[in-house]
């Protein structure tokens, strides 16, 4: 395929159009670089030189600037990734709870090292410093979706299911899609799965429940702090927003506890 004059080469025309759509979402087009790089990965399987050049051309910045961003964030990959990116948390708490043992078991089972992909192209394994899910340690992530309270045995079963094409569902999220599909979602093109699965679990809500049981509330803003709107209105809006943020998670947890009590 020959690129048109002044048209970046190396990516499909529809991808270039979507890259421009992303850039146009922002008052400063270069603010769209992060999702643009995710879109490149969804098409090319990694951040390619052609993808870097395309982003630079569209944003009117240098390829060096794009490359600097792409090499700074670990979510951007410079070599091909498998269908499923399995990240094992090996930070302190997860490591103590068994994360190191899980990582070692998966390396042996998959016959790969850190940041390597299985021969069938299905699974890329990497260790992650923190998955921000200490209340469910040890945890893995598959294409950025949580798999909680893992063991070496359950981790092996997980990767075997993924390689065999068995449908896998995150413990706190949707059905697992492929890495390229997940990258397209991160680029800002939803896949319709946002409401699949629970948004939080019992451990995540323990602090909230304790606070409500004891009528604990967050301190109010300083009286001398300037406010652009009526304080009563602000407080009511903040309260409504806080309630909305937690109501779904609380409902899901109540349902989960009800199921367990009925078993």
One DSSP character per residue, 3-66 reads PPTT---SS-HHHHHHHHHHHTTSSSGGGGHHHHHHHHHHHHSS--HHHHHHHHHHHTS-HHHH
In this prediction the pTM is 0.77
Per residue in 34-77, pLDDT tens?
999 999 999 999 999 999 999 999 999 999 999 999 999 999 99
Whole-number pLDDT of residue 199: 72
- Amino acid 251: pLDDT: 59
What pLDDT score does 160 carry?
A: 98
The pLDDT assigned to 255 comes to 57
Which residues of the chain are modeled with pLDDT < 70?
1-9, 223-263
User: So what's the pLDDT on residue 228?
Assistant: 47
Distance in angstroms (rounded) separating the CA atoms of residues 91 and 138: 9
Query: Domain limits of the chain?
Result: 13-72, 93-173, 198-218+250-263
**Are 8 and 22 spatial neighbours (Cβ–Cβ below 8 Å)?**
no
- Closest Cα partner for 72 from 127, 40, 27, 33? 33
Residues 119-146: b if buried by 16+ CB within 10 A, e if exposed: eeebbbbbbbeebebbbbbbbbbbbbbb
What fold does the segment set 13-72 form as a domain?
Answer: Arc Repressor Mutant, subunit A (1.10.10)
Q: Which two tokens stand for residue 160?
A: 């075997």
Asked if the peptide bond before residue 219 counts as cis, ω within 30 degrees of 0, the response is no
pLDDT of residue 119: 96
Q: What is the pLDDT of residue 256?
A: 56
d(CA 201, CA 172): 7
CATH 3.40.30.10 fits 93-173, yes or no: yes
């Amino acid at each position: 395929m020959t690129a048109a004059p002044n048209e970046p080469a190396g990516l499909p025309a529809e991808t270039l159009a979507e890259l421009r759509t992303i850039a146009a979402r922002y008052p400063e087009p270069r603010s769209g670089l992060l999702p643009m790089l995710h879109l490149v990965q969804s098409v090319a399987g990694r951040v390619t030189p052609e993808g870097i050049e395309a982003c630079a051309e569209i944003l009117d910045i240098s390829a060096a600037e794009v490359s600097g961003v792409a090499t700074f964030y670990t979510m951007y990959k410079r070599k091909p990734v498998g269908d499923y990116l399995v990240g094992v948390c090996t930070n302190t708490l997860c490591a103590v709870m068994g994360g190191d043992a899980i990582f070692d078991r998966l390396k042996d089972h998959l016959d790969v090292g850190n940041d390597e992909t299985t021969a069938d192209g299905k699974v890329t394994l990497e260790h992650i410093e923190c998955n921000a899910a200490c209340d469910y340690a040890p945890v893995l992530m598959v294409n950025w979706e949580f798999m909680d309270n893992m063991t070496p045995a359950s981790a092996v079963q997980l990767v075997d299911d993924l390689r065999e094409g068995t449908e896998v569902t995150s413990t706190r999220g949707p059905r697992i899609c492929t890495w390229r599909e997940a990258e397209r979602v991160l680029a800002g093109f939803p896949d319709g799965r946002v409401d699949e699965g629970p948004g939080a679990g019992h451990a995540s809500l323990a602090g909230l429940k304790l606070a409500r049981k004891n009528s604990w509330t967050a301190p109010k803003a300083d009286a001398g702090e300037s406010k652009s709107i009526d304080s009563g209105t602000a407080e009511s809006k903040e309260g409504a927003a806080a309630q909305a943020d937690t109501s779904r998670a609380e409902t899901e947890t109540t349902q989960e506890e009800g199921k367990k009590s009925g078993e």
